[in-house]
A and B are shown apart, each in its own frame.
Chain A
Amino acid sequence: MKGAHSRSAHAESVVAATRESQIDPLEAIDILALLVLIGLGGMAAIDSSNGLRVGLALAFILFIPGWATLRFWKSPTLFERLALSVGVSIAVGAASSATALWLHLWRPLPLFYSMAVASGALLAAHVVRERKRSRGSNR
């Protein structure tokens, strides 16, 4: 009986270790998004103009705010999440820029930094929360 119990505990720990070593695609995208934010923020700060900045800017404006917003909604599948992230990013970008224009507060780069900080905070909070949760469930 005791032997069976220890075998079961061993199996559980192996499963947990395997689960830890597997890369969750959602979390991988979170981390990639954070890297994009850092890279683009740095390039914008030093006013570097090149193809990489254009690529990062497109990745940000077409994906990251939506991805960060939808991260806390559990229901969508990965494909649904990706499709909605693009739509929500475009919508959030359009809404925030139009609002800034109507309020006579058009400062595009500060608007970008505030959006980047908000998106980064949401993503980081989610990554930390998921890490804590998975550690808790492993124990």
Chain B
Amino acid sequence: VTGSASIGRTGSRSQTVVATTGVHSAPERRRSSPLEGTSRLFGPADVLFLVAWGLWIAALLTTSIAHAQGSWGLIPALPWTFYFGVSLLLVSVAIQLGRERLSSIRLGLHLVSLVFMVQGVTPLLYSLEPKYFSQFKAVGETLLISSHGALQSSVDLYQRWPGFFGFTSWLDSIAGLQSPLSYMAWCQVFFDLLFAGAFLFAIRSLPLSPRQRWLSVFLLITGNWVAATWQDTFTPQAPAFALSLLIVGIVLRWLSSGPGELKVDWRTRKGALVVLLLLYVPLVFMHPLSPYIVVLWVVALTLVNRVRPLWLAPLLALLAVGFLIPNLSYINKQYGISKAFGNLENNVLPNAPSLARGGSFLQANLGPNLYAEPIIVGLLIVLGLIGIGIRIRQGKGSILMLALLMAPLIIVLGVTYGNEAITRVWLFSYPWLACFISLALWPDPEFEDGLPAEEWSVLKRLARKENEHRSRVPQALSHVRLVGARWITAAVLIVTAGLSIVLNYSQNEIYQVAPSELRAAVHFYGSAPAGVAYYVDPGFPLSVGARYPSFKGEGGGRYYDLFLVKYPLLELIDPAQVMSAVTRLVCNAERPGSPNGYLVLSNQQEKYAEAFGVFDARFFDQMEQHLRESPDWSPYYLSSTVRIYKIMSHCRR
């Protein structure tokens, strides 16, 4: 091997290499990562990794969920060994990132372990029951398809965007399962791993070193739990997010033509276009928002002169709008999107009444979350801004990542998305912010710029020779900087993961559905006569059955949730007054052809209402007392955790 090299501090591709071996074709050059590979040595980080797992297993064996109470949820129930184990794992990640030769296998194992150690806790401790009652609507959609074998587009929006539910219903049939309840508890583990893989694929063509890429993925996983209630649970958003990242990856990898990009032949580009459309077309009918985010990303990349063919963005927009048009009147009627268009002030408002009561913009928060979320979001944004500053100072291309970071912001001009627009902006912008954060934590100026391994080794040899004649001081500084980067990275990963754990685990007590309540809900939706059902608040597995449309009001279009929908009730002080108002509501509910009406009360709803300060436990008891004594109601289902009352027929119109 012969060759020459010039080693620039910035390490840009144009500066670094005059190629050496002559054996690499253009695609191969990109494929081999200079610092990635496997190392057979068993190092200290490997010991840490094993110790971390040992501590985690010991922690789970000694945890009792009986101690998971109050606004801190699962956090005080977990022993110190859990937190120490996760922290050791993250220290091990930082050590792995600082190794001279990166080991993809080890980093991959750390990534899988991190996801499992954090997201696997809930399904393991809570007997495999799914977290978050919001997921149960998706179970009902799947079961509706499985039992009827057809879509009912008048029922709700999900039936008009059936991609995900058709898929899950198909999975159930192939696997011989009765319902998604048997596997959905593990969705967070599965989807987080899917996001990690898709993101690692997406950023392969960004101007980042391999260390920065891996660090970005770890940051995505630790920071992405900020709004995890929606994005990695059993909902269409989760696979749609992964598909969106893959599409961006294809565009960056094969369809970019910016300066300095490797030439890709037309045949390969045609293949990439076909695969892109294979991913995008189902995305259009899987999730209402994600296709538009993809369009925004592709438009942004086209504007910074990166995407060819130029007609790609218009084609994608045409497909998304083409599917929207037949559904537009329905969406407008249900969600009033024409009012949201251009109404920036309203669109950035938070979603739930809890937020109006002092919660933050991203997630319905309580207790410690009120502090944890602003801290983690603020920290990530500040670090991202530092990364942007570093990139600009280095004079290296940051426009690409900035375009991807900023493009999702445009959606707040057009939609309110159930007052979740800001949450969605965070979801789709955060991955690119994570790239900038990795630049701030690990500036990594030298060498690692997508060089083949042989070129890297030649460069290293030359650099070593050159350094022999230099002062030892720069080498020492470089070493100090590497050690500093390791520890700062470990600290940031531990802080972000810690805050994410607070955000997630503190909500368990409010969102976790008890098995007995789930059984009651399955029974109710499976066997109760059709009728309009009211709930005190959303703390119940709503619509977890194929017959769920039979229990909705106003033509099947709406859930009756006294807490979220009927604000005036909250202003009533006397429980008797509340019950009288509720009775009037149920008696007058418009549901043609259905004589029945129900009111569902459960322990979980009580916890939810109390946590959000709607009713206290005493008020809840008094309400139920009036319900029991009222001549207008009779008990339909009574258990220790769930009470369902049925309105007497004389009351209904």
Contacts and interface: CB of A to CB of B under 8 A. Distances in A.
Interface of A: 40, 43-44, 47-49, 53-54, 57-58, 60-61, 69-70, 73-75, 77, 79-80, 82-84, 86-88, 90-98, 100-102, 104, 106-109, 111-112
Contacts of B194: 86
B124 interface: no
A80 B275 CA distance: 12
Contacts of A87: 198, 242-243, 246, 279
B278 A57 contact: no
A54 B173 CA distance: 10
A97 B167 contact: yes
Given A48-B176, A73-B271, A100 B243 contact: no
A101 B162 contact: yes
Contact of B175 (A58, A97, A107): A58
Interface of B: 27, 31, 145, 149-151, 162-164, 166-167, 169-171, 173-177, 183, 194, 197-198, 200-201, 204, 239, 242-243, 246, 249-250, 253-254, 264, 268, 271-272, 275, 278-279, 281-283, 285-286
B282 A95 contact: yes
Contact of B174 (A57, A84, A104): A57
Q: Is the interface of B mostly helix, strand, loop or mixed?
A: helix
Contact of A109 (B173, B249, B264, B282): B173
B344 to A, nearest CB: 33
List 5 A-B pairs, minimum CB-CB distance, nearest first: A97-B166, A108-B173, A57-B175, A94-B163, A106-B149
Contacts of B197: 82-83, 86
Nearest to B168: A97
A84 B175 contact: no
Contacts of A47: 176
Q: Is the interface of A mostly helix, strand, loop or mixed?
A: helix
Contacts of A98: 162-163, 166, 282, 285
A79 B246 CA distance: 12
A117 to B, nearest CB: 14
A73 B282 CA distance: 20
Contacts of A106: 145, 149-150
A75 to B, nearest CB: 5
Given A48-B176, A92-B278, A112-B170, A75 B254 contact: yes
Nearest to B283: A91
A49 B163 contact: no
Contacts of B250: 84
Contacts, number: 127
Contacts of B286: 94
A12 to B, nearest CB: 19
Given A44-B174, A94-B282, 14 more contacts: A53-B175, A61-B174, A69-B278, A83-B201, A84-B201, A88-B275, A88-B279, A90-B239, A90-B282, A91-B279, A94-B239, A98-B285, A101-B150, A109-B173
B279 A97 contact: no
Nearest to A100: B166
A120 B254 CA distance: 28
Contacts of A48: 176
A91 B282 contact: yes
Nearest to B104: A79
A83 B174 contact: no
Most buried by B among A44, A95, A98: A98
5 contacts: A58-B171, A61-B171, A74-B268, A87-B246, A101-B162
A109 to B, nearest CB: 6
A25 to B, nearest CB: 14
Contacts of B162: 97-98, 101
A111 B174 CA distance: 10
A23 B173 CA distance: 35
A119 to B, nearest CB: 13
Most buried by B among A43, A53, A80, A92: A80
A80 B166 contact: no
A43 B175 CA distance: 9
Contacts of B27: 75
